[in-house]
Copies of this chain bind each other. A is one copy, B any other.
């Protein structure tokens, strides 16, 4: 079975990456930023988080799965001050428990200086 690539929707400009790639029963999801429908990154953390989650869940749906099948998530923030808000929003978006394994870190920057958060993940496609 070859690798199955899930591309960004037509009209969404991305760097050289697929939104996700599947091999066997694992789906690897790229670090997803929080652009809105007009290609803007809000300067509001909660707004960016909301668009990250919307895109992330759409990718899972495109692969015929959902957040309950995530096994590992990595959250990249650019401001330590957003950690508590992120955990609150994350629990709503990815819950209820049991949650996937997860690592969170605060990096110096994400690829676009306006990005406050990206989330990547690995999902199981076993039914």
Quote the shortest CB–CB distance from A117 to chain B (angstroms): 11
Task: Give A98 to B71 CA distance when docked, in angstroms.
Answer: 24
For A97, what are the chain B residues with a Cβ–Cβ distance below 8 Å? 16
Is A12 on the interface with B (CB-CB < 8 A)?
A: no
Q: How many copies does the complex hold?
A: 3
Is A19 on the interface with B (CB-CB < 8 A)?
A: yes
Contact with B along A41-56 (1 / 0, CB 8 A): 0000000000000000
For A111, what are the chain B residues with a Cβ–Cβ distance below 8 Å? 83, 104-106
Chain A interface size range: 35 or more
Q: Which of A7, A94, A102 has the most CB of B within 10 A?
A: A102
Instruction: Mark A residues whose CB is within 8 Å of B.
Output: 1-3, 5, 7, 15-26, 28-31, 68-69, 71-74, 76, 78, 80, 83, 87, 90-91, 94-95, 97-111, 113, 118, 120, 122, 124, 126
